[in-house]
Amino acid sequence: QVQLVESGGGLVQAGGSLRLSCAASGLTFSTGVMGWFRQAPGKEREFVTGITISGSSTRYADSVKGRFTISRENPKKTVYLQMNSLKPEDTAVYYCAADLARAIISSSPRAYDYWGQGTQVTVSS
């Protein structure tokens, strides 16, 4: 019954910023993990960042650390991805995902049971 809907993607110049949102419905408890993945054409799906639903911990891929920030809004179960200092290599479809089986932030897509439809982020050089 969990549904995730991403929004906020678009076209931005290198060095610019975007904020992605993931609206989650059907989450009636306070445990688990919400994460962001991305997939560029011809590449494997890549872990970007994750946050425990409780907000107690976060995790970032080395490629985005210091530039991206994940946050959550508990009442609405909404997760945000603030993307600053964007680079052309950040261009990808970004997916929101939920892992409700554990409270450990996994970097493996296989750990996540629910996925959004994806939102395109394109960074021009």
Q: What backbone phi and psi angles, to 5 degrees, belong to 28?
A: -110, 10
Instruction: Tell which wins on pLDDT, 23 or 56.
Output: 23
> Quick one: which of 47, 39, 19 has its CA closest to 89?
39
Name the β-bridge partners of 40: none
pLDDT tens-digit readout, 33-92? 999 999 999 999 999 999 998 888 999 999 999 999 999 987 667 999 999 999 999 999
